[in-house]
């Protein structure tokens, strides 16, 4: 199983990918700017999946998200035998 970092998960293709990826057994770490939709995703898809409000056009937000996500990804990576994918 893989950990998939998905930007733009609140609408469109990103949103459409969340359920099938989780149903395939992957762990989704995803973001978007719309907090209400992010909160809905967090309620619908609980841990180990993670949904956070991040504007990827703002470097400081991306950097902070990466700093939060990297330790999480590292811990999952060891659980998943070193296999991870981020896009």
Minimum distance from CB of 52 to ligand NAP (Å)?
10
Contact pattern for ligand NAP over residues 18 through 37, marking x by CB under 6 A = -------------xxxx--x
The Cα–Cα gap between 27 and 10 comes to 16
* Residue 43 found at the interface with ligand NAP (CB under 6 A): no
| Binding piece for ligand NAP, criterion CB under 6 A, among 6-14, 18-26, 67-75, 76-84 | 6-14
**Which of 21, 15, 56 shows the shortest CA–CA distance to 36?**
15
The Cα–Cα gap between 40 and 86 comes to 22
Tokens standing for residue 84? 């991870």
Binding site for ligand NAP (CB under 6 A): 7-14, 31-34, 37, 54-57
């Amino acid at each position: 199983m893989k950990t998939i970092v998905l930007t733009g998960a609140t609408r469109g293709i990103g949103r459409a990918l969340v359920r099938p990826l989780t149903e395939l057994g992957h762990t989704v770490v995803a973001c978007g700017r719309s907090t209400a939709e992010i909160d809905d995703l967090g309620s619908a898809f609980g841990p180990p999946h993670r949904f956070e409000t991040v504007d990827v056009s703002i470097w400081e937000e991306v950097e902070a998200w990466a700093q939060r996500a990297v330790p999480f990804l590292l811990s999952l990576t060891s659980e998943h035998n070193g296999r991870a994918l981020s896009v």
